[in-house]
Amino acid sequence: MKKYILPLGLLVASAVPVLAAESIVPNTAQSLEMGRELFASRCAECHGRDGKGHVEVIADAGDLTEPLLYRNGSTDEAIDRSIRDGAGAGMPAYSKELKNPEDVGHLRNYIKSLWPADKRPAVEK
């Protein structure tokens, strides 16, 4: 894997329980880039590279670009849960593939960057 240098805070945080580790991943440009790579390799086949879920041949994947359309909730906790444990009948659980708790956070940060501009979290410096 490519090596990324994580801020010290993140390294410390990775030792605490999973939910906490995921929730504190800052929404930085670096996190978005890592999330983008994870999204491209794990999510894009079903949700589409633009997140609109138009790739119907594979699955009935949701449109990730509008939080109002999220079927299993759009809070940070709900998004993380869907990534980890799967959602609906078709979305697989990624807890076995994404061993690093921060990866779920990076992925969630990237997914939220697909939201409309007025709902999108600001990118931290």
Partner 1 sequence: MANPYNAESSMRTESESKSSQSDETVDNVSSRRNFLRLSAASLGAAAASFSAGGVAAPDVAADGAIPSIRLADAFKQSLTEAPASTSFEGAGMTGAEVFANLCSKEDLAALFCCPGNYTVINALAAAGIPTYGGRTEGAMCAMADGFSRATGEVVATSGTEGPGFAHMIMNIAAANAARTPLLVLASNMTLAGDDREAFIQQAYQQPTTEGIKKYGKRMIDPARVHEYGAYAFRCLKSGVPQPVHLDFPAEVARARFKSPTELRDFYDKSKYRSESRASPAAKDVDAALALIAKSQRPLIVAGQGVFQRKGWDALRRAAEKADIAVVTSGPTRGFFPDDHRLSIATAPNALLSADLVIFVGQYCMPSPGEYRLDPQIKAIRVHPVQEDLGRNWPLDLGIVSDEALFLEILADRLPKAKRDAWVAELTKARSDYQAQIDEIYKLGLDHSAKTGMLHPAVITRDTQNFIDTHPDGRESIATGLGGWTIGLFAGRYMRAYRPAQEILPPYQYGAIGPDMAMMMGVSCAVQRGVGPQKGYEGTPTICITSDAGAAYSLMELDTAIKYGWPTITIVYNNNAWGVWPHASRSARSMHMYLFQEHLRYDQMATALGARGEYVRTPADFRAALARAYKAGRDEKASTLINCQAIKEFTSGKDYPPGVSLNAEPGAGAIAH
Q: Alpha-carbon distance 68 to 99, whole Å? A: 29
Among 50, 77, 97, 124, binds partner 1 (CB under 8 A): 97
Does 1 engage in binding with partner 1 (CB under 8 A)? yes
One residue of 51, 74, 94, 107 binding partner 1 per CB under 8 A: 94
* Contact indicator for 51, 20 with CB cutoff of 8 Å: no
CB of 72 to partner 1, least distance (A): 9
Which stretch, 4-12, 20-28, 44-52, 110-118, contacts partner 1 (CB under 8 A)?
A: 44-52
Quickly tell me which residue has 């969630």 as its tokens.
108
φ, ψ of residue 9 in degrees (nearest 5)? -55, -35
Instruction: Using the minimum distance from each CB to partner 1, give the nearer residue, 76 or 94.
Output: 94
3-state secondary structure of 87: strand
44 lines the binding site for partner 1 (CB under 8 A): yes
Asked if residue 116 binds partner 1 (CB under 8 A), the reply is: no
Q: How far is CA 72 from CA 11, 18, 35, 50, 98, in A?
A: 30, 20, 20, 20, 20
* Structural contact between residues 78 and 112, judged by C-beta atoms closer than 8 angstroms: no
Q: Tell me the window of 11-19, 85-93, 108-116, 117-125 that interacts with partner 1 (CB under 8 A).
A: 85-93
Whether the CB-CB separation of 74 and 1 falls below 8 Å is answered with no
Nearer to partner 1, 14 or 95 (CB): 95
Binding to partner 1, residues 9-38 (CB under 8 A)? 37
